[in-house]
DNA sequence: CGACGTATTGACTCGGCTCAAAACCTGTGG
DNA sequence: CCACAGGTTTTGAGCCGAGTCAATACGTCG
């Protein structure tokens, strides 16, 4: 008795993933239809570059599962990690309305499934459909707010505080007291994401253990008391916890 | 149509300033009209807060002349300067499509004239007019790119390089060799804008004099050779000079 | 078990911050 | 014209956080 092969039934699967993304929420099905038609689903191996900085932005992307990183390479050979994204996240969409050139590269961190959608479709859909336009604007505006926060964090918070902030954003919103969570990806990568070196990350995590009642066991982190961590972390920030961004 | 009487400024003045802003470029006059109707022009003194972080975003703003700063206050009483803007710049428009709350405060750095426009109008105009929507999206996307650059700079460049980058962006695009320019506002403020302390700014400027062939006389800066400054500044960045961002 | 990638630890350097003082401007009133 | 007051900018000394380089521990997979 053959069991289901899940990679098939592409159209329905795509539909689910695409339409439930906020960009398409409340959008009529005839606006949605061409996206479903044109969508291509891909599964690629770790390390694959989906695109690099400077490429023409002919597609934008939606992650189904797995992890990718957005990055920029500097002239002297360093790499800045712009963002790390997973299921449900959209990327590459911003360049479409700017200069049509990706401002960063995108690389898979592990085997990852994603959907690619044509930029041209997004452009026309946004131009012709009000709801799409408003959704797109909202996505952009939220991104801008996130980026503002990021800039503030880099300016105002030190390494342990940036990690604390990162951990707090991993917590479910409503909990109080103690929380156990595990880090979504490599510590090295988290470090890069937070704009610090792995060694600094390691030491900063150690000071959190000492000063903010945190326990760490490999990738598992136990926050003894959320409020304590907030007190330690959020003073140099302009947002009161819980921050509504992410 | 109703002809409203504005007590201080005739209709035409506003029209010039508003319609030449990129947000309204190519927009039909009947879409533009309600903005011109509803626009209010203001002139206020240095120090005045136009709004503060957390206010409801009922207006967005266009600067006619003068200077303003956008800033965020942290819980422990520090201030992060988000941006410094002057004639032709737009601000407060992002919150409208996000959560309707300003993410920063805005304060005048000197006597400044500005126009305030109702958020509600922007929202409806963007929802009903394709060109407005595309313009707004473009404004947003460009802002996002700028912010990305800012994050990269904070991460990768040291103080002298950040100043060098700032100076290079003040240069006219096509010049080569030597350039004379003067700083648009206080060194203290530039320092804050670049995420450093005034003392650091001063010292960093001194090292630029030494290492990158710069001369400084008060607010006047003479770049001996642009290429030399580029070589000194741009290595840790992912953009090749001239950066197309602002 | 060995081997490789990831994570931690140690010793050192250096950049930027702090606090404090001096130098420089610029406008004001005598 | 000078003296003074206020703000801005510079300079100095000392400290601390984060980066670097190098070595060691840890884990997981073969």
- Quick: pLDDT tens for B196-244: 999 999 999 999 999 999 999 999 999 999 999 999 999 889 988 888 6
Structure confidence at residue A14 (pLDDT)? 81
**pLDDT digit string, tens, across residues A108-162:** 999 999 999 999 999 999 989 999 999 999 999 999 999 999 999 999 999 999 9
Structure confidence at residue B77 (pLDDT)? 86
Whether the link from the prior residue into B224 is cis, omega within 30° of 0, is no
Tokens standing for residue B163: 């100043």
pLDDT, chain B, mean: 91
Least confident of A190-204, B8-22, B164-178, B185-199: B8-22
Structure confidence at residue A15 (pLDDT)? 87
Structure confidence at residue A3 (pLDDT)? 43
pLDDT, chain A, mean: 91
Q: How far is the CA of B199 from the C1' of C21 (A)?
A: 13
Cα separation, B171 vs B92, whole angstroms: 27
Structure confidence at residue B55 (pLDDT)? 97
Structure confidence at residue B14 (pLDDT)? 81
Q: Which nucleotides of chain D does any protein CB come within 7 A of?
A: 8-13, 17-22, 27-28
Structure confidence at residue B245 (pLDDT)? 57
Q: Classify residue B15 by its DSSP letter.
A: H
- Is B89 a residue whose pLDDT tops 90? yes
In this complex, the residue of A104, A127, A151 whose CB is nearest that of residue B154 is A151
Tokens standing for residue B7: 């007590």
Q: Higher confidence at residue B5 or residue B114?
A: B114
| B55 SS3 class | coil
Integer angstrom CA distances of residue B36 from B90, B133, B155: 16, 18, 42
Cα separation, B111 vs B68, whole angstroms: 9
Structure confidence at residue A68 (pLDDT)? 96
Structure confidence at residue A7 (pLDDT)? 42
| B176 SS3 class | coil
Q: Does B78 touch chain A (CB under 8 A)?
A: yes
* pLDDT interval class at A6 (50, 70, 90): very low
Task: Give the best residue of B60, B82, B95, B97 to mutate against chain A (max A CB count within 10 A).
Answer: B97
108-147 in chain B: CB under 8 A from chain A: 126-128, 130, 133-134, 136-138, 140-145, 147
* pLDDT interval class at B76 (50, 70, 90): confident
- Is A11 a residue whose pLDDT tops 80? no
In this complex, the residue of B78, B155, B240 whose CB is nearest that of residue A195 is B155
Question: Per the CB < 8 Å rule, is B138 touching A75?
Answer: no
Question: What is the chain B residue with the closest CA to A130?
Answer: B127
Q: Does B28 touch chain A (CB under 8 A)?
A: no
Q: Give the protein-side footprint of strand D (Cβ within 7 Å).
A: A 158-160, 195-197, 199-200, 204, 218; B 186-189, 198-199, 201-203, 205-206, 216, 219
Q: Does B55 touch chain A (CB under 8 A)?
A: no
- Is B15 a residue whose pLDDT tops 90? no
In this complex, the residue of A80, A148, A152 whose CB is nearest that of residue B156 is A80
Q: Which chain A residues contact residue B96 at CB under 8 A? A: 141
Percent of chain A clearing pLDDT 90 (strictly above):
84
Cα separation, B246 vs B239, whole angstroms: 12
**Is the full-model pTM beyond 0.85?**
yes
């Amino acid at each position: 008795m053959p069991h289901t092969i899940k990679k098939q039934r592409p159209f329905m699967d795509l539909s689910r993933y695409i339409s439930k993304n906020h960009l398409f929420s409340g959008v009529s099905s005839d606006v949605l239809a061409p996206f479903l038609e044109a969508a291509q689903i891909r599964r690629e191996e770790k390390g694959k570059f989906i695109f690099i900085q400077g490429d023409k932005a002919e597609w934008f992307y939606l992650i189904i599962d797995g992890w990718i990183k957005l990055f920029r390479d500097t002239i002297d050979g360093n790499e800045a990690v712009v963002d790390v994204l997973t299921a449900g996240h959209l990327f590459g969409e911003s360049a479409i309305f700017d200069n049509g050139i990706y401002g960063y590269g995108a690389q898979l961190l592990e085997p990852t499934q994603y959907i690619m959608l044509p930029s041209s479709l997004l452009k026309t859909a946004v131009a012709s459909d009000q709801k799409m336009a408003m959704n797109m604007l909202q996505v952009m505006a939220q991104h801008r707010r996130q980026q503002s926060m990021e800039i503030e964090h880099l300016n105002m918070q030190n390494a342990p505080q940036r990690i604390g902030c990162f951990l707090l954003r991993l917590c479910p919103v409503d909990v109080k007291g103690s929380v156990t969570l595990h880090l979504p990806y490599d510590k090295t990568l988290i470090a890069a994401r937070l704009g610090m070196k792995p060694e600094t990350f390691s030491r900063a995590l150690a000071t959190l253990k000492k000063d903010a009642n945190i326990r760490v066991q490999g990738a598992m982190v136990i926050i003894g008391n959320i409020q304590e961590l907030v007190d330690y972390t959020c003073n140099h920030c302009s947002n009161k916890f819980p921050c509504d961004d992410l």
